[in-house]
Amino acid sequence: MSEHPVTMDALRHMLANRTAARFSDLDQVIVKLVQEREFQILNPEGKVRSRSVQRLAPTDRVALPSTLLLPGLSRRT
């Protein structure tokens, strides 16, 4: 995955072309990864959605979270 946010719609279609999983299956995996802080979900305006999100909209964006690289330095997403 790129460091730039990708829409759920685009991610679903990219993954659906490589697996037999349904969109709902893919969504469940993404939600689980969000809960484990592997990804963040951003709304269309770029605001971070709650980690307790249960339903994903096609316009939601999946992003890598800001991570601490060295004390005082973090990756911007």
pLDDT in tens, the chain (77 residues): 557 899 999 999 998 889 888 999 999 999 999 999 999 999 999 999 999 999 999 999 999 987 655 666 655 54
| Non-local CB neighbours of 32 within 8 Å, separated by 6+ positions | none
Residue 4 has a pLDDT of 86
Angle at which helix 8-16 crosses helix 23-35, to 10 degrees, equals: 120
Residue 74 has a pLDDT of 59
Residue 62 has a pLDDT of 96
Residue 57 has a pLDDT of 95
Q: Rounded to whole angstroms, how far apart are CA atoms 63 and 77?
A: 7
pTM of the model: 0.76
| Non-local CB neighbours of 56 within 8 Å, separated by 6+ positions | 8, 27, 30, 31, 41
